[in-house]
Amino acid sequence: MSKKFAVILSGCGYLDGAEIREAVLTLLALDSANANYDIFAPNENQFHTINHMEMSEEKEQRNILLESARIARGKVIDLNQLNTNDYAGLLIPGGFGVAKNLCTFAFDGASAKATAKVTEVITNFNDQQKPIGAICIAPALISLVLGHKGIEVTIGTDESTASEIEKTGAKHINCERNEFHLDQSNKIATTPAYMFDETKLNLVMEGISGVVENVIKWS
């Protein structure tokens, strides 16, 4: 039976959920490698809802699972059903939803906490020596859970975010928008993607492709 990978989304839309382009490029890279995958998301309300044109908060509640279904074309599974034993590796696209819905890094920095299920999933993949790929701000989430192991990650070159990441015990490695970093010993691949706001889609694709390629290779 071919290997299967788990992808965790945090909603739909970069200001309050998953970064749509990063999510799609991650799935494209998996499909291009003929890799099988399932998409997961928490069945919980997202922290808040942002109007992506006005950049303002809306007075409505949205469900992370239902929002993620927009990207997954309906094929999304409640994160509580994710069993690490069934998957060869884990991939987490970025977006503020990672830092608001999967953990509190957007508000609390290095003192933030990941949700219980997300912590369990990341810990289990790492304990089983299965690879993890994290994109954009998602490396900060990985650092909240695994920073005590001295893991290496990148979110690009933003000094303030990198500083908070290093407070978790993780080591930050500067990378450009089309680059990725490989922590070989811990099997963690990371890339900045849209941590660089003004960037081109083809450069984001280069970094994400590198992450996905190595997660597959390590599995």
Q: Catalytic positions, please?
A: 136
Residue 37 identity (one-letter amino acid): Y
DSSP reduced 3-state for 172: strand
CB 93 within 8 A of CB 36: no
Sequence-distant contacts of 116-120: CB under 8 A, at least 24 apart: 117/42, 117/79, 117/80, 117/82, 118/8, 118/42, 118/79, 118/145, 119/145
* Three-point CA angle 163, 166, 172, nearest 5°: 90
